[in-house]
Amino acid sequence: MSLDAAHGLLACPVCAGALDVEGPAAACGAGHRFDVARQGYLGLLGGPQPAHADTPAMVEARVRVLSSGAFDAVDAALARCAPGARTILDVGGGTGHHLARLLDARADARGVSLDISTAAARRAARAHPRAASVVADAWAGLPVRPHRFDLVTCVFAPRNMAAFARALAPGGQVLVVTPDAGHLASVRERYGLLAIDPDKDVRLQKAASSHFRTVARHRVRESLDADPALVADLIAMGPNAFHGLPGRPAAMHTEVAVSVWVFRSSAPPLP
């Protein structure tokens, strides 16, 4: 079972004690228990998922987009920025795709994909044999043991920098992927999709500065000739899906344009 990959890494969301997975449940020393879903993910949300969680249709659209290779350049950039990571926490991990690609690059690595969507967690549970899938709310505090991860990744997902700092081992890194102004610009303009906040870079660096130092910003650019089905999925996989989808999207040329930010813990690595 892929949840074995989380051995020694998870914490009880109630008391913060060490959480061990045994069979169909996980439990801490204080007796708090949480069910492992039959699909293989561990539910630590403590209630129903919120309305903004990715739906099954959004997750399937994301699977198709990622399977198309549209974001392969992003995966390659992430791998280049994390050559020595052995324990990886992917926050907002979605289908587990990006974590799985990182694990493919290192035979001795293992990881946890954490997302608030149960539909995404079902996919992530079978993304990689060395990846555990957990449903939790990152804003409520990450249910992981402190300072156990070499790397925290956050790809197009909300960022709780204080929680990232607590999860990260001394000297570890955080990789954050954010869309740049040109990201899928032709698609966004054609269909009136949600705009990219022009102040997001400033806000990201400000939020990170209390816990990390900025090491690098790598810009990734990749041309994309999208057929109508791929255009539809690019729209359907994200929050624009909550605002309605175009009936008949057209084939069009667009661009994947993102930044991979590298933040490092200010504490020295352990000897």
CATH code: domain of residue 185 = 3.40.50.150
Q: Is the residue at 109 inside a domain?
A: yes
Q: Is the residue at 241 inside a domain?
A: yes
CA distance 37 to 212: 35
Task: Note the pLDDT tens digit of each residue in 204-247.
Answer: 999 999 999 999 999 999 999 999 999 999 999 998 888 877 77
Whole-number pLDDT of residue 2 = 80
Tokens of 161: 């920098």
Task: Note the pLDDT tens digit of each residue in 8-53.
Answer: 999 999 999 999 998 899 999 999 999 999 999 999 998 888 988 9
Q: Is the residue at 7 inside a domain?
A: no
Whole-number pLDDT of residue 47 = 86
Q: For residue 112, how many C-alpha atoms fall within 13 Å in the half-sphere facing its CB? A: 30
Q: Is the residue at 271 inside a domain?
A: no
Q: Is the residue at 65 inside a domain?
A: yes
Give how many domains the chain has, as a whole number: 1
Write out the residue range of the structural domain in which residue 141 sits: 40-265
Q: Contact, 132 vs 2, CB < 8 A?
A: yes
Q: Contact, 39 vs 49, CB < 8 A?
A: no
The neighbouring-strand residues paired with 222 are 256
Q: Is the residue at 3 inside a domain?
A: no
The dihedral through the CA atoms of 166, 78, 237, 205 has a sign that is: positive
pTM here?
Answer: 0.94
Identify residue 146 by its one-letter amino acid code.
P
Q: Is the residue at 6 inside a domain?
A: no
Q: Is the residue at 91 inside a domain?
A: yes
E strands present in 45-160: 87-91, 110-115, 131-135, 149-155
